[in-house]
Chains A and B, each alone.
Chain A
Amino acid sequence: MAAGRSGDATGPGAAVSATTVRAGGRARTVGGVVAAADGRLGVGQVRLLVIMAGGALGTLARAGVAEALPHRPGAWPWATFAVNLAGAFVLGWLLTRLAERTAPSRHWRFFLGTGFCGALTTFSTLQVETFELARDGHAGLAVGYPAASIAAGMAVAVTGVMAARWGRHW
């Protein structure tokens, strides 16, 4: 995500200042992540662990759906379609909710957003499924599947954003 835009901060911008505060100005770099000098986990390291935990859960959820709804060649890829729309809705809601209203914790964005929703949804599978549909001669599906994914994905993302602004008690 581009740094400094409203409602997103998976980029490096926010991490630097927060880490410097946490480490009391005495910071060292470990594997590209700034760690506190006193040996405790720095904000950057905790953030990475939180992303990985959410990423593991999101990937497992997606793999479970993919196993439960196997994709037959030449058929609409329902599993990918479903997880992508679910994740786009939740992320639209989450990022707006956290950016524009009181955030319960700075970790939620990285656990649920960057980690879980990011891993639950997939761009690569959508594209490879589209390629396979095209290769096998299903021209209508090869155009309709990505087009519907984009149209419906934008619709649910916008709905999620609006839900976060309308909701007052959740």
Chain B
Amino acid sequence: MGAALVGVLTWAGVAVFGALGAAARFHVDSAVSARFRGDFPLGTLVVNLTGTFALGALVGGGLTERLAFILGTGFLGGYTTFSTWMVESERLGEDGDVVGLLANLYLAVLLGFGAAVLGWYAGGAVT
């Protein structure tokens, strides 16, 4: 295949896998939210932690640059989200739920770091 065709297919792959990642986020968030009726946005947290573990595993596993671009930037980029995390935190703050706000921000970032570390070593162990 020519380099131009490979480039086009790679970007098409990023778009398709990004779409699938966004759909997966919607499904997982919906499924978790349906089972958890509290105000805490657990669905987004589950999405972000599972996606972070997976990205850590992809990078730690030493995927080729092109596959990392399609699966990491594409699928997992579409799957995990920063904006929803921030706006849901803003809502918790507006509702006066300070504990929820702080937990949603700082518990998430600490657990996320742990998920990245675990994923990295899991990916390295498999390959």
Contact = CB atoms under 8 A, between A and B. Distances in A.
A58 B79 CA distance: 11
Interface string B6-40: 00000100111111111101110111011011111
Contacts of A15: 30
Given A62-B73, A118-B81, A125 B87 contact: no
Contact of B82 (A7, A57, A126, A131): A126
A10 B29 contact: yes
Contact of A60 (B15, B44, B90, B106): B15
A88 B43 contact: no
A12 B90 CA distance: 21
A62 B117 CA distance: 24
A66 B19 contact: no
A39 to B, nearest CB: 22
Contact of A154 (B11, B52, B54, B90): B90
Contact of B27 (A2, A32, A134): A32
A153 B86 contact: yes
A15 B116 CA distance: 33
A23 interface: no
Nearest to B92: A5
Contacts of A88: 82-83, 86-87
Contacts of A5: 39, 41, 91, 95
B90 A157 contact: yes
- Tell me whether chain A's interface is mostly helix, strand or loop, or mixed: helix
Given A48-B23, A124-B55, A153-B86, A59 B112 contact: no
A126 B76 CA distance: 12
A124 B79 contact: yes
Nearest to A129: B116
Interface in A1-30: 1-3, 5-8, 10-13, 15
Nearest to B26: A51
A43 to B, nearest CB: 14
A7 B18 CA distance: 25
B84 A10 contact: yes
A118 B25 contact: yes
Interface in A46-103: 48, 51-60, 62-63, 66, 84, 87-88, 90-92, 95
B28 to A, nearest CB: 11
A12 B86 CA distance: 20
8 contacts: A1-B43, A2-B39, A6-B95, A118-B81, A124-B48, A124-B77, A124-B79, A131-B56
